[in-house]
């Protein structure tokens, strides 16, 4: 099994997450992030803002904020209804962004929707391994490294069993309230880094799921630690990922230049003490803010521990 060595390390800074950034604001948000020092962008076809993100990248290049495309680490993902034509999906992503290759390509979810049909319609003959092997054929011309997203332990193992190019990342929801320690331990043993999305736990579950929203940024312990460091609860929630062993990549998202800068600067301006980390690691509250329960009908290939 041979990993592709990336030309730029993806974990030197927290990535700018582009999920839920409106098209009308995506170009400016991307440009401002690059201007403020972000060099890692996390994208996906389904986010619907690739063209605008590409415009922000082009503006940064045209104005000399970065010397070349090689100064950026760009991650994108194959959506659930694109598994039958992986190369076509990647070609579309590259065209929308106006670039020639991705630094990292992920399978977005371990489930395959039937194109044109609403979930939970899915392919009954779906194979994660087949999709991953299609992605391997795109290396190193259109993707320099590969990874997975929202994969359970069993699903990660199913990729390791067939991969010739080792996945370097598993991107999953992770926060102080949804710590993913068991999954991370397994991934770490196999040289796979956890990338954490929804680190602030701020997505409100669909009312039909009857799941109570729990505000991590208002947790008494988080507020206490923020006060001790003269920082924000948001910064504490983000910093937690960086002070874990091994540290995680943590996705942050904002459309406002000031908030983009604060996420970047505040999170890197302090460290949590060992005592604070132990307390945060042992918080009893558990809450998963992005819970695709509607995809879990009988027969879907989700494993129960994700």
The residues assigned a catalytic role are: 47
CB proximity list for 245: less than 8 A, separation 6 or greater = none
Q: Which residue has the tokens 């947790």?
A: 219
Are the beta carbons of 194 and 168 closer than 8 angstroms? Answer: no
Residue entry with tokens 């099994």? 1
Other CB atoms within 10 A of residue 79 CB:
19
249 neighbors 170 (Cβ within 8 angstroms): no
CA–centroid distance for 11 within its chain: 12
Is the CB of residue 85 less than 8 Å from the CB of residue 93?
A: no
Nearest-angstrom CA–CA distance, 144 and 154: 25
Of 82, 147, 88, 154, which is closest to residue 116 (Cα–Cα)? 82
Within 10 Å of residue 134's Cβ, how many Cβ atoms? Answer: 18
Whose tokens are 């076509």? That residue is: 88
Give the DSSP letter of residue 74: E
| CB-count exposure of residue 214 (10 Å: 0-12, 13-18, 19+) | middle
Main-chain dihedrals φ then ψ at residue 196, nearest 5 degrees = -105, 125
Report how far residue 118's alpha carbon sits from residue 130's, in angstroms, rounded to the nearest whole number: 23
Question: What are the beta bridge partners of residue 197?
Answer: 173
Cis peptide before 246 (omega within 30 of 0): yes
């Amino acid at each position: 099994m041979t990993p592709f060595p990336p030309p730029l390390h993806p974990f030197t800074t927290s990535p700018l997450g582009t999920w839920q950034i409106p098209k009308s604001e995506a170009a400016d948000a991307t440009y401002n992030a690059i201007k403020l020092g972000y060099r890692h962008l996390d994208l996906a076809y389904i986010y619907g803002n690739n063209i605008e993100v590409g415009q922000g990248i082009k503006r940064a290049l045209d104005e000399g904020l970065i010397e070349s495309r090689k100064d950026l680490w760009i991650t994108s993902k194959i959506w659930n209804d694109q598994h039958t034509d992986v190369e076509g999906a990647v070609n579309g992503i590259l065209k929308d962004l106006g670039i020639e290759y991705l630094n990292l390509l992920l399978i977005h979810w371990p489930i395959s929707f039937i194109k044109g049909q609403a979930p939970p319609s899915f392919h009954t003959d779906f194979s994660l391994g087949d999709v991953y092997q299609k992605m391997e054929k795109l290396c190193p011309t259109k993707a320099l490294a590969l990874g997975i997203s929202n994969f359970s332990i069993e699903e990660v193992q199913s990729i390791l069993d067939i991969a010739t190019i080792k996945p370097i990342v598993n991107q999953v929801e992770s926060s102080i309230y949804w710590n993913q320690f068991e999954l991370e331990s397994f991934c770490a043993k196999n040289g796979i880094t956890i990338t954490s999305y929804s680190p602030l736990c701020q997505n409100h579950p669909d009312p039909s799921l009857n799941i109570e929203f729990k505000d991590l940024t208002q947790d008494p312990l988080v507020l206490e630690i923020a006060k001790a460091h003269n920082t924000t609860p948001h910064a504490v929630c983000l910093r937690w990922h960086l002070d874990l062993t091994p540290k995680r990549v943590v996705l942050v998202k904002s459309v406002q230049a000031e908030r983009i800068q604060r996420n970047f600067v505040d999170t890197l301006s302090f460290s949590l003490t060992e005592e604070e980390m132990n307390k945060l690691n042992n918080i009893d509250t558990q809450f998963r803010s992005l819970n695709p329960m509607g995809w879990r009908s009988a027969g879907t290939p989700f494993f129960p521990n994700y």
